Amino acid sequence: MIGDVRRLKHMTSLPHEKAEMIRRFARNYRDADISYDRGGIEWLGEFVDSLRDKATDLENERRIFALGCFFGVCLEETVGGAWNLVEDNWKFVSGNSCGIDPFECVRSQLRTNRPASVLAAFDAFEKGTSMSDEPRNAPEPGEAVLSSRDSNGPAR
């Protein structure tokens, strides 16, 4: 339980720190000023595609966490929601959605040439959350939950 509390405190700031790192990288090395919105997700998808054949699996695994954090923060800022820790895996849940693993979405696009992409996942998640403010799959008692919104809007 104490380990979960530490991880929860760490996860309240870490995704935002990593997402800001990705924004700085995009601005400084890719001449792109990206935001936490659909345009940022479009850039993310193109960037992930550019990495597919240029880096080793180990190099890409190191990038997945930061890129997944950027994806998750885009979800927070666009649709709101909560980070849920389920069986040592983070998922992002919001509205009428059953949840999404932003890290697995990035990993999947990075490893395959399939048409499924972070942009398609973002669009599907956003569409699924537009009907309700309550998560369809509420966390079970004892599950760790981080809310990204309070009554004043998205957490910063």
What confidence score (pLDDT) does residue 10 get?
A: 58
Four-CA torsion 74, 78, 81, 87, nearest 10 degrees: -30
Identify the structural domains of the chain with CATH numbers, from first to last. 2-149 (1.20.120.1090)
pLDDT by residue (tens digit) across 5-34? 455 555 667 889 999 999 999 999 999 999
Tokens of 55: 């880096």
CA 120 to mean position of chain CA atoms: 13
pLDDT at 8: 55
pLDDT in tens, 73-110: 999 999 888 878 777 777 888 866 568 999 999 999 98
What pLDDT, on the 0 to 100 scale, is given for residue 11? 61
Provide the pLDDT for residue 60. 83
On the question of pLDDT at 39 being above 90, the answer is: yes
Q: What phi, psi does 80 have (nearest 5°)? A: 75, 175
List, for residues 129-142, the tens digit of each pLDDT value: 654 444 334 444 33
Q: Rounded to two decimals, what is the model's pTM? A: 0.75
Number of neighbouring beta carbons within 10 Å of residue 106: 29
Of how many residues is the chain composed? 156
